Chains A and B, each alone.
Chain A
Amino acid sequence: MNAMTKTLMSVAMSAALVSTGAQAALSDDKVKIGVLADMGGVYADICGKGCVAAVEMAVEDFGGTVLGKKIEIVSADDQNKPDVGSAKAREWVESQQVDVVTGLVSSAVTGAVTKVLTDAKKLALISTSASNAFTTKSCSPYNAHWTYNVAALANGTVKPMVQAGKKKWFFITADYAFGHALEKVATGVIKSNGGEVVGNVRAPLGTTDFSSYVLQAQSSGADVVALANAGSDFVNSLKTAAEFGLTEMVDVAGLLVFTANAKALDPAIASGMKLTTGFYWDMDDQTRAWTKRFRQRHDKIPAMGQAGAYSMTMHYLNAVKATGTDDSETVMKYMKEHKPNDFFARNATLRNDGRMVHDMYLVRIKNASERKGEDDIFAIEKTIPGDQAFAPMLSQCDFK
């Protein structure tokens, strides 16, 4: 009964919105952007306050107003907890007139939040999550997934290695949704290119000592040991791999490496590793110019998700301006029909499934003698065209 009433009410309300849409271009007379991210936990560096700074920067560059109305920003800490994140998102859209939520880091939180937003017909602009679920099995016409995903990481890093003759793979995988998804997608890429997976271990999230797993990898006879983990799990596993001589015996591939993690490693250990990223600050004049401005507000080099947060906010605001409304469907339609193009989004297009397809980069971690400063971390080896990096769209997610 309650659900019924709710549905009826939302139908009535959306009817009211549509009918008044012509007079009031912007609902409640403003555009309000919510930035939801882990602000103080393990993922604070890869989005967090830097994402807030990037969104503020986008709004400021846009002029601070759209259609003559003020653009407001609110932010909150999701503590990497799906319940905290979804409660905050619900509060924002139900009582604080938030039109769009961006940031979004932990895939578990993003899964919960996108559900709330889709129910409320509000847009989720996902900047930092890795899972590809938001544009595949949990796809929604209200999702836009910007920076990267597990498929792009696997295609970018794993494929060229298998094609170069590294056929036998061993996985050290973080034992939760993200690690499993990454391993699964990477395994698919390995098999379809004629390689095989000779073994895997699932290490619990937050494992400190990886020596046991490294020994298992060592005796597996693999050509490549893939680290399907992130953050301090990645740092700990690679440190141990180097210490036990694994990095000298076989290739070790980090599947998800952020600049901040690469920076936390002794160059002697990490140099030479190839990985895929959606953005690197020192790529060309455009990225360097943007980074310089970014660093005036947030004194760190931007993580890829932070650059992505700027890019998607800009594209969103442009869409609001062009369509003259903040109605989610109209704005999303415009965003999909018009290609984003800025320092971040190169050869980019937002597909109907919500996947933003753009150039990805295969980079190599520089060795100590190559580095000109503490932030000089990656050397770009190759640009991977978006259509080769990301998986094709599923027909059930083709939201026009």
Chain B
Amino acid sequence: MATFLGINLFGLSGQLLVGLINGSFYALLSLGLAIIFGLLRIINFAQGAIYMLGAFFAWMALQYFGINYWAALILVPLAVGIIGVLMERFLLRPIANEDHLYSLLLTFGLALILQGIFTQTYGSSGLSYAIPESLKGGTRLPFMYLPNYRAWIIVASLTVCISTWWAIEKTKLGAYLRAGTENPQMMQAFGINVPLIVTITFGFGVALAGFAGVIAAPVYAVSPEMGSNILIVVFAIVVIGGMGSIGGAIITGLGMGVVEGLTKYFYPEASTTIIFLVMVVVLLVKPAGLFGKEA
């Protein structure tokens, strides 16, 4: 077996690939937050609960309406997106001009309420959601067994991430959005309906979390706590990547997946801490984040 400095290279390649898979999932999760937190400057603490909502909606769709995984992949983000739109319009808009802390507290409260409702209704142990038949099984690579579903996670996440990045950075709509968040008065003077753009963008960012929830349902425990476990990590990724940088969030998500994967290999006890360690270092060296513009 190939080894280098006493490290099993086959094992390491497996860990790197697994890290990349997780990284693409982190990228998908942080993308929604990067849009809401980075562009709209709303600290949405309910993003984790909404990710949980996505997974539960997928389960409910299958359980109550017989809607399969593939249809859920489209329908659930739509449903979750509508909830996001309502949330922005009726809860966040009235406090839009207040300090950022207000939106943080409001969304945090919302997250607790959602989590409480689901614990009360479905219990804390979680629900079962099977991997769709067409994605079962896997491929045997020289260094590891790659389950088809994990390969699908990479494909789906990166497709969504890259097209979102393209829409925001390269299209006219994206330009309106970026300009609208940078200088709303100016854009309104040009006759652009900025509040509507904000609402739609928020809805889209939330829908991405719903999408991630559906992606997660077959492989992770579908339980009310699932969102709160992952939310803080995702916030850290957005901060490391740099506020307002969509590309930064994607690349950082991928990178942090790999870093975390390697930590799990060499020193598992630190695996939940390592991302915060990186965050501290990045904030000390480059306060705007790796890809953020210095203010």
Contact = CB atoms under 8 A, between A and B. Distances in A.
Interface string A174-206: 010000000000000000000000000111101
Interface string B50-76: 000000000000000000000000000
Interface residues of B, number: 44
A236 B265 contact: no
Contacts of B124: 40-45, 48, 231
B22 A209 contact: yes
A206 B220 CA distance: 11
Nearest to B264: A212
A243 B146 CA distance: 9
A235 interface: yes
B225 interface: yes
Interface string B113-144: 00010011001111111110000001000001
Interface string A211-228: 111011011000000000
Interface string A234-259: 01100110011100000000000010
Contact of B226 (A45, A46, A232): A232
A74 interface: no
Contacts of A268: 130
B264 A213 contact: yes
A261 interface: yes
B167 interface: no
Interface in B122-173: 123-131, 138, 144-145, 147, 149-150
Contacts of B129: 266
A48 to B, nearest CB: 8
A215 B130 CA distance: 21
A40 B145 CA distance: 38
Contacts of A265: 128
B21 A264 contact: no
Given A40-B119, A201-B268, A244-B145, A212 B18 contact: yes
Contacts of B10: 219
B45 to A, nearest CB: 17
Contacts of B220: 208-209, 236, 239
B261 interface: yes
Contacts of A209: 22, 25, 220
A208 B282 CA distance: 25
Contacts of B25: 209
Nearest to B147: A243
Contacts of B127: 264
B175 interface: no
B193 interface: no
Interface string B197-214: 000000000000000000
B181 interface: no
Given A232-B225, A235-B221, A216 B269 contact: no
A243 B131 contact: yes
B223 A300 contact: no
A216 B125 contact: no
> By CB atoms of chain A within 10 A, which of B125, B138, B220, B229 has the most?
B125
Interface string A125-168: 00000000000000000000000000000000000000000000
B145 A202 contact: no
A397 interface: no
Interface string B235-275: 00000000000000000000000000100110011011000
> By CB atoms of chain A within 10 A, which of B21, B124, B149, B271 has the most?
B124
Nearest to A240: B219
Contact of B123 (A239, A240, A260): A260
A333 interface: no
A244 B150 CA distance: 9
Contact of B223 (A204, A219, A240, A264): A264
Contacts of B126: 232, 235, 261, 264
Contact of B221 (A44, A201, A236): A236
A292 interface: no
B84 interface: no
B268 A203 contact: yes
B217 to A, nearest CB: 11
A41 B126 CA distance: 12
B184 interface: no
B47 interface: no
A240 B126 CA distance: 15
Given A42-B124, A211-B150, A264-B125, A243 B119 contact: no
Contact of B125 (A203, A219, A260): A260
A212 B128 contact: no
Given A48-B124, A239-B220, A245-B147, 6 more contacts: A207-B271, A209-B220, A216-B265, A244-B147, A261-B125, A264-B221
6 contacts: A215-B15, A218-B144, A218-B145, A236-B221, A264-B125, A266-B129
Nearest 7 pairs of A and B residues by beta carbon? A260-B125, A212-B264, A235-B221, A264-B126, A204-B272, A44-B124, A232-B221
